[in-house]
A and B are shown apart, each in its own frame.
Chain A
Amino acid sequence: MKRVYSSIIIAGILICIAGALLLFVPGPERPVVTFVYIGEKGDFGYLDSAYLGLIRARDDIDFISREILWDGSFKQDPVIGEGGKRADLVLILGDLMSGYAESVAEKYPETPIVVIDAGSVRGDTIRSVSFSMYGASYLAGVLAANQTKSNKIGVIAAKDAPVISSFTDGFMDGVYSMNPDAEVSIIYLADDDSGFTMPDEAGDLARSMYSEGTDLIFTVAGGSGPGAITAAKDLPGLFIIGVDSDQSELAPRTVIASVVKRVDRVVYLEIDAAFSGRLGRSADVIGLSDGGSALIINPRYQDLSNLIEDRYSEAAEREAEYLLGKEDV
């Protein structure tokens, strides 16, 4: 009888221990992606697009996302999170953080890093993806040449720099492919990055161009662009092609189309590639044919879509040639 008692008690103790162990055995760990960026979400453009890519990927691929708003320091560790949990991928957004990406790679050589919207970055574990805007801008040029009545087309650009030239080169080539007689004038707002934040000056410039007969303006000037759009709303017959995000929301009757970087798509694809073991270790340039850039037509002007679709392949081919030419240089 004693043995029976003892057996029951020992079995009970074992069951309790097993139960307790089961309670505290952790479930499968989810991978972690750290997303580092500069600026604030809510720009209805670049950063919001990146965030959209992140949440779409998170819905489809089960991972934990950490966000770090970079302030130029290492105060928040991009790899080691709360409780010592390590990131499985670090996504860094923007060319300005290339140096930061190199530092992270040096400190954590095991962690894959992807820098989006940046040229080649040094480091064996760093992949960079940059956007070619030539193809989408080429289509914008085709559209501009089709829409102008005065044959006078303007470009308001932030500054004369490589980051701008793939827009302006593509745009001009697109215009001339459609209308060799059109007159395109490019005006740079500044010699430095301040050209991205001069909306008042962009507005003045739009008014000045309009007074000289320009009836379509392509804005390649970041935060300055909305200044030109606001001015154009009061200038009958002047149309705008915007940039970065679908800016037709800002002025539905004025902005006929926008040239955009598909940051959302790139963020999604890079995360997907990382977790399916397809992440490359090189610099990549993506453009119109890869879905990295696009020309978005204002729904009010949907009838122009056919024109763009007809010229899509041509724009993609011209972009490939353009990029090849750049490599040769």
Chain B
Amino acid sequence: MAEPFTMLTGPAAPYLEENVATNVISVQRPHSAGPYKHPGDELFFGLRFDGDGNEIPDFVLNRPRYRDSRFLIAGANFGCASSREAAVTALSAFGIRCVVAPSVGDIFFNNCFKFGVLPVLLPEADVLSLAEEASSGETSGEFSADLLANLLTAPSGKTYPISLPEFRRTQLLEGLDEIALTMRNAGDIAAFHSAAAAERPYLYRLERPVSDIP
């Protein structure tokens, strides 16, 4: 069950690298390494901290104006490669609940909805313009995402549409558990299985381990 998403406001960090893999967003490391010092430290850990655990000052999220970012303005194919959903939970642990990009990895996209993170896909020119707004001026301006109105607003007042399938939007707005959502289709699932097993019985007549059936 994720926190419902209705309105998000705050600074946006521009990070336009393309093809950023999920295990760069959230590094895999052994449990023996212990917990992170602060919640959200796992986000881009390998890029934000050096080998001794000290912050790398140049990295975008370590710069004072972006430390409290709520939005990430990202490059194409953000969150590609591995299926690890920790990439999404790392973003939300840091406080980023909205990723704006020309495209994101498919699995990453689906994972966002499970953890109350809003992916906004916009044409590349719009993403560049948002990144420009995020980097200009002395301090970081306020961006906002209003999911009830389906609008993303930049500090300049310029607005961009948020376009999501209705059931995904509802899922975010209400913070719905996906299993509960699907259970509404329990009857359809049972009917589907009966029909499929009648049509192609050889695909569904599988032996279970003999001694282990409870």
A and B from one complex: no
